[in-house]
Structure 1
Amino acid sequence: MPAERRGSGVLAQSVGLPLAVLLGLLVLWEICVHLFSIPVYLLPAPSLILMDSIGNLGTLGLHTLATLKTVLLGFFFSVAVSLPLAVVLTSSQSAANAIYPILVLTQSIPKIALAPILVILLGTNELPRIVVTFLVAFFPLVIAIATGLMAVPGDLLELGRSYRGSWLQMMWRIRLPYAVPMIFSGLKVAVTLAVVGAVVAEFVNADAGLGYFIITSTAFFETPLAFSALILLSLMGILLFQLVVLIERLLFPWSAANADKTFG
């Protein structure tokens, strides 16, 4: 019985409290809009945003799927490139010295400035949007993975060498398992940044997607629809983040347990 009460208390704290705060903010928002007679094109009331969203579910759904496709492709390629590159960076000092400056250079370029150039180079198709999404998500992920691989205690490495473990065995059985918490930390950051990258790319070149929908909505002063797209983008980021959390809990429960202790 005490365990059940403790579990319900944790659920109330982790779910009920944030929902109550969010509901209170929405009510306050609604009251302020009506109380101060704020024009719809400046700040629509939550009730109006909800009604406009329901009336445009089909259109919003199509644009959401377009953005989600770009996000997932950019995130997938960032993972596919980051993991082997981080292994190379942590295995060779010469490779690290040669590659790190290039990584920093790519990160220092504002993606909103790079997007039009990519359109010229790659054409007005989906590829520039995927590349921008990849570049936004890629850097923090490769840094997180490399940090995790380098954080292995020297005692563990010495133990592996004492058993005459090969480089591949040391990487597979010692470095990668030890780096799992850092890898998933990087994945959580990267998947949310991928949403940001996709929207930035859609602002520059797109004929579909929530970023494109925000641009067209604000151009015609349909602010409630622009807020609907913003809310959907937030929900997309939250759901993708929680999906990474779920994968970590299912595949590496010990890593998820450590994360819960750290943040709980």
Structure 2
Amino acid sequence: MSPATKRRLLSAICIVGFFVAWELICLAFNVSALVLPRPTAIFYTLWEKMPGIWPHAVQTLYTTMVGFALGVLIGVLLGMLIGSSRLAYDVAYPMLVGFSSIPKVAIVPILVLWFGAGTVPAILTAMVMCIFPIVVNVATGLASTEPELQDVMRSLKATKLEILWNIGLPRTMPYFFASLKVAVTLAFVGTVISETVASNRGIGNLMMIASSTFDVPLVFAGLFILAALGVLLYAVFSAIEARVTGWAVRSDSFASR
């Protein structure tokens, strides 16, 4: 058995062990389902109510991906601007830091006032959550481009746009994909925040309705679905990252120590 297979097997055993321990603790201490439902009760709720849960999960995934795509597009453009212009850095970066410091739950009522309750505020909230990590990482990747490479390109009469396209953007790819994996999880946070405040569809709305009726297993079922979707998209972007930026991964020996 290869070391990678052993590592994956050990990870799976640890995850299963976590849920087994959760189940046993709830049984041993007779924990009420209103406080902490057992994993078996949560999985049973998922199985039993999946026909009703599925449309909410699809709505949340759709909203998250649209907001995520818009956030990536805007974040890349802003990151390129900030990373390639000192003036843009001095002007835009403090504004971005200030805006990202605002709790996003405080923005949702404003979006509802502008666009009404529904899908649009959820999309915009997910977009806003994505922008900052994308901008920071793209700008950092451009700023870390080796000056020697830029000097070589200038000696070949390359324009600033050609330098950006041939050196800056490839150098940014490891930072960009790292930010994607962070941003996609934040996008789910933004979507659920908006769905709990101003939507009649989605996992966030489902969880609010379930909590109002004290259906705690259904609340945890919603959390499990969000976690599963987040892990799935994280794995997708990790696989794409390995294919696109494999040259940037030197070794995992540090993590193994």
Distance of aligned partners of 1:176 and 1:103 in 2 relative to their CA distance in 1, 3 Å threshold:
same
Of 166, 169, 175, the residue aligned with 1:173 is: 166
**1:10, CA displacement in angstroms?**
1.3
**1:191, CA displacement in angstroms?**
0.9
Match of 1:9 in 2: 3
Of 188, 197, 210, the residue aligned with 1:204 is: 197
Instruction: Please list, as runs of the form range in 1=range in 2, the aligned pairs for 1:78-227 lying within 5 A after superposition.
Output: 78-227=71-220
Aligned length: 256
Distance of aligned partners of 1:235 and 1:153 in 2 relative to their CA distance in 1, 3 Å threshold:
same
1:10-33 CA-partner distances (Å, limit 9, x unpaired): 1221x2112111111211111111
Distance of aligned partners of 1:111 and 1:148 in 2 relative to their CA distance in 1, 3 Å threshold:
same
Q: Counterparts of 1:163 and 1:94 in 2: how far apart (Å)? A: 26
**Would you say the 8 A contact 2:72–2:134 is kept in 1?**
yes
**Would you say the 8 A contact 1:64–1:232 is kept in 2?**
yes
1:55 is the counterpart of 2:48: yes
**1:124, CA displacement in angstroms?**
1.2
Distance of aligned partners of 1:238 and 1:259 in 2 relative to their CA distance in 1, 3 Å threshold:
farther
Of 15, 24, 27, the residue aligned with 1:22 is: 15
Q: Counterparts of 1:172 and 1:101 in 2: how far apart (Å)? A: 26
**Would you say the 8 A contact 1:217–1:225 is kept in 2?**
yes
**1:148, CA displacement in angstroms?**
0.4
Q: Counterparts of 1:232 and 1:114 in 2: how far apart (Å)? A: 25
Match of 1:68 in 2: 61
3-state SS of the aligned residue for 2:145?
Answer: coil
**1:64, CA displacement in angstroms?**
0.8
Distance of aligned partners of 1:70 and 1:44 in 2 relative to their CA distance in 1, 3 Å threshold:
same
Q: Counterparts of 1:171 and 1:114 in 2: how far apart (Å)? A: 35
Q: Which amino acid counterpart does residue 120 of structure 1 have in structure 2?
A: L
Q: Which amino acid counterpart does residue 79 of structure 1 have in structure 2?
A: V
**1:85, CA displacement in angstroms?**
1.3
3-state SS of the aligned residue for 1:41?
Answer: coil
Q: Counterparts of 2:94 and 2:171 in 1: how far apart (Å)? A: 26
**1:9, CA displacement in angstroms?**
2.4
**1:250, CA displacement in angstroms?**
2.9
Counting aligned pairs with the same residue, the percent is 32
Match of 1:45 in 2: 38
1:189-230 CA-partner distances (Å, limit 9, x unpaired): 111111111111111111111111111111111111111110
**Would you say the 8 A contact 1:71–1:194 is kept in 2?**
yes
**1:262, CA displacement in angstroms?**
6.6
**1:259, CA displacement in angstroms?**
7.4
Q: Counterparts of 1:64 and 1:258 in 2: how far apart (Å)? A: 38
**Would you say the 8 A contact 2:79–2:134 is kept in 1?**
no
Q: Counterparts of 2:216 and 2:245 in 1: how far apart (Å)? A: 43
**Would you say the 8 A contact 2:83–2:138 is kept in 1?**
no
Distance of aligned partners of 1:70 and 1:97 in 2 relative to their CA distance in 1, 3 Å threshold:
same
| TM-score normalised by structure 2 residue count | 0.95
Q: Counterparts of 2:108 and 2:250 in 1: how far apart (Å)? A: 39
**1:125, CA displacement in angstroms?**
2.5
3-state SS of the aligned residue for 2:107?
Answer: helix
1:167-206 CA-partner distances (Å, limit 9, x unpaired): 1110011111111111111111111111111111111111
| TM-score normalised by structure 1 residue count | 0.92
1:71-115 CA-partner distances (Å, limit 9, x unpaired): 101110011111111111122222222212221221111101111
**Would you say the 8 A contact 1:181–1:259 is kept in 2?**
no
Match of 1:33 in 2: 26
Instruction: Please list, as runs of the form range in 1=range in 2, the aligned pairs for 1:225-236 lying within 5 A after superposition.
Output: 225-236=218-229
**Would you say the 8 A contact 1:187–1:244 is kept in 2?**
yes
3-state SS of the aligned residue for 2:32?
Answer: coil
